[in-house]
C-alpha cells in the first residue's frame, strides 16, 4: 500500500513537471485528486485494511496529499512566473531612453500681431467687433454709401459668390461698422481686424489680406480725436514714440471729409535716408508711409443705421495690416506669410 502511495506521488510529481500551463496543471489535479482520481482509489481501498494499518497508511496518504498539493501550488506559481517573464521579455522597453519631442506649434505671426494691436486699442477703451467674411452686398457697399456704379463693385475687383446673388467676399472691414452700429448705440469705440479679399495678386498684393477697421462715434468726435488715437496707436504698435502722423485729402464714399493717413517711416525715422546716408528704400526716401484710409463717418452712413448726424459725429479708419507687419518685423516678401514654410514661421 505504502509503495502504491509512493508511486502515485512520483507519478504526480512527474506529471506536474511536464504541465506547462494552468490548464494542464488543472488536468493533473483532476487526474489525482478528482472525484474519480487515483488518490481517491487509494483512500477507498483503505477500508480493507486493519485498524492499525488504516491509521499508519491513512496518515501517510494524508501527508503525501498535502505535499502534493503544495507541489501543485508551487507549479502554478512557476508557470505564472514563466508566463510573465515571457511577456516581459517580449514587451521589454527601456524607459530611460530619451523620448521623441513632439514639435509644438504656435500662432501665426499675423494672429499674434493682431492680438498685440487689440491690446493697444483696448488700453484706449476700444472693444473688438467681428463681421462675416462672406458679406452681403448691402453691408459691403450699399450701406456704406458706395454707389451702384462705383468701380469697386466691378467683377474685376471683387469676388462675387457664385450661386449666391448679392454676396461678396468682403472687400474691406468697413461693413463691420454697419453691423456694429445696427446693434449698438453711441458712445461707440470699436476695432474690427480680419481677412479681406480682392482680385489682386502680385508681388505686393495677395487676394486675401488683412485689415483693421476702427470706429468711434459719439456726440463730440472730431478729427483731433482721430489724430490722437491713431498717432498713439502707431507709436505703440511700432514701439517708437517718435512716430508722427499726417493727413492727406482723399476720397471714400463712406466718410466726409476723407483722407489717407501717413506715418513717419519707422526705418529712417522720417529722414528719407539711413544713418550712414544710404537712401531709405522702404519709404522711397520720402520719409512717410501710407498706413490707413480714414475720415469722419459720412452723415448718410449714420442715417442708414438710424443715428442722427446732427447729434452724432464719428471717425473711421481702415489700416492694411500685412504691410505693417512686414515693416515692423523687416519682412521683405508678402508671400512668406502664406506659404507655410516652417523655416519662416518658426522665427516668430
Residue 12 or 217: the one with the smaller Cβ distance to ligand PHE is: 217
Residue 136 interacts with ligand PHE (CB under 6 A): yes or no: no
Contact between 177 and 140 (Cβ < 8 Å)? no
Report the residue number, 43 or 208, with the smaller CB distance to ligand PHE. Answer: 208
Which residue in the shown chain puts its C-beta closest to ligand PHE?
318
Question: Cβ 285 to ligand PHE, closest distance in Å?
Answer: 25
- Site residues for ligand PHE, 94-123, by CB under 6 A, read none
**What is the rounded distance in angstroms from the CA atom of residue 197 to the CA atom of residue 77?**
74
| Residues 6 or more apart whose Cβ sits within 8 Å of residue 170 | 131, 132, 133, 134, 135, 139, 140, 196, 197
The set of cell numbers assigned to 288 is 512717410
Q: Which one, 75 or 189, has the nearer CB to ligand PHE?
A: 189
Contact by Cβ (8 Å): 261, 291: yes
Q: Within 149-168, which residues bind ligand PHE (CB under 6 A)?
A: none
In terms of CB distance, is 172 or 323 closer to ligand PHE?
Answer: 172
172 in contact with ligand PHE (CB under 6 A): yes
Number of residues binding to ligand PHE, judged by CB under 6 A: 10
> Residue 60 is placed in which grid cell?
501517510
Cβ at position 116, least distance to ligand PHE in Å: 21
Q: Does 263 bind ligand PHE (CB under 6 A)?
A: no
Min dist CB 135 to ligand PHE, Å, is 12
**Residue closer to ligand PHE (CB basis): 191 or 255:** 255
For position 252 contacting ligand PHE by CB under 6 A, the verdict is yes
How would you classify the pairing of strands 288-297 and 313-320? antiparallel
CA distance 99 to 92: 16
Residue in 72, 158, 174, 313 binding ligand PHE, rule: CB under 6 A: 174
DSSP label of 153: G
Least Å from the CB of residue 316 to ligand PHE: 4
Q: How far is the CB of 125 from ligand PHE (least distance, A)?
A: 19
Closest-CA residue to 218 (of 283, 147, 136, 307): 307
Q: Which helix (H) or strand (E) holds 135?
A: strand 134-136
Binding mask 282-321 for ligand PHE (x = CB under 6 A): -----------xxx--------------------xxx---
Tell the smallest beta-carbon distance from residue 206 to ligand PHE (Å): 15
Instruction: Classify 197 as helix, strand or coil.
Output: strand
Query: What is the largest distance, in Å, between two alpha-carbon atoms of the chain?
Result: 132
Q: Packing angle between helix 321-328 and helix 109-122, nearest 10 degrees?
A: 100
Query: Which residue, 296, 288, 222, 286, is CA-closest to 257?
Result: 296
**Per the omega criterion (within 30 degrees of 0), is the bond before 257 cis?**
yes
CA distance 88 to 107: 43
Q: What is the closest distance, in whole angstroms, from the C-beta atom of residue 245 to ligand PHE in the complex?
A: 15
CB atoms within 10 A of CB 223: 15
Looking at the Cβ atoms of 54 and 227, the one nearer to ligand PHE is: 227
By the rule CB under 6 A, 180 interacts with ligand PHE: no
Candidates 230, 255, 265, 307; binder of ligand PHE (CB under 6 A) is 255
Residues that bind ligand PHE in the complex, under the rule CB under 6 A: 172, 174, 252, 255, 293-295, 316-318
Amino acid at each position: 500500500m505504502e509503495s502504491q502511495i509512493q508511486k502515485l506521488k512520483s507519478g504526480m510529481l512527474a506529471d506536474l513537471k511536464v504541465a506547462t500551463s494552468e490548464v494542464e496543471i488543472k488536468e493533473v489535479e483532476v487526474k489525482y485528486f478528482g472525484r474519480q482520481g487515483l488518490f481517491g482509489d487509494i483512500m477507498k481501498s483503505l477500508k480493507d485494511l486493519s485498524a492499525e494499518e488504516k491509521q499508519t497508511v491513512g496518515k501517510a496518504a494524508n501527508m503525501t496529499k498535502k505535499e502534493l498539493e503544495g507541489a501543485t501550488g508551487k507549479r502554478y506559481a512557476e508557470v505564472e512566473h514563466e508566463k510573465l517573464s515571457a511577456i516581459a521579455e517580449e514587451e521589454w522597453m527601456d524607459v530611460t531612453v530619451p523620448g521623441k519631442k513632439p514639435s509644438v506649434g504656435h500662432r501665426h505671426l499675423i494672429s499674434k500681431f493682431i492680438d498685440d494691436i487689440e491690446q493697444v486699442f483696448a488700453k484706449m477703451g476700444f472693444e473688438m467687433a467681428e463681421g462675416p467674411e462672406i458679406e452681403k452686398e448691402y453691408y459691403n457697399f450699399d450701406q456704406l454709401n458706395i454707389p451702384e456704379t462705383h468701380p469697386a463693385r466691378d467683377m474685376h475687383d471683387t469676388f462675387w459668390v457664385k450661386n449666391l446673388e448679392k454676396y461678396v467676399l468682403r472687400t474691406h472691414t468697413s461693413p463691420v461698422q454697419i453691423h456694429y452700429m445696427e446693434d449698438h448705440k453711441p458712445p461707440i469705440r470699436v476695432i474690427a481686424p480680419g481677412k479681406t479679399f480682392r482680385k489682386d495678386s502680385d508681388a505686393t498684393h495677395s487676394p486675401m489680406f488683412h485689415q483693421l477697421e476702427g470706429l468711434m462715434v459719439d456726440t463730440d468726435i472730431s478729427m483731433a480725436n482721430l489724430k490722437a488715437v491713431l498717432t498713439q496707436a502707431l507709436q505703440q504698435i511700432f514701439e517708437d514714440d517718435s512716430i508722427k502722423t499726417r493727413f492727406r485729402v482723399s476720397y471714400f464714399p463712406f466718410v466726409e471729409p476723407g483722407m489717407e493717413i501717413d506715418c513717419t517711416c519707422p526705418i529712417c525715422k522720417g529722414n528719407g535716408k539711413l544713418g550712414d546716408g544710404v537712401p531709405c528704400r522702404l519709404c522711397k526716401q520720402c520719409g512717410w508711409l501710407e498706413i490707413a484710409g480714414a475720415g469722419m463717418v459720412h452723415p448718410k452712413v449714420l442715417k442708414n443705421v438710424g443715428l442722427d448726424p446732427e447729434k452724432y459725429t464719428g471717425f473711421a479708419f481702415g489700416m492694411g495690416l500685412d504691410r505693417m507687419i512686414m515693416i515692423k518685423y523687416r519682412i521683405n516678401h508678402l508671400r512668406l506669410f502664406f506659404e507655410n514654410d516652417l523655416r519662416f514661421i518658426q522665427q516668430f
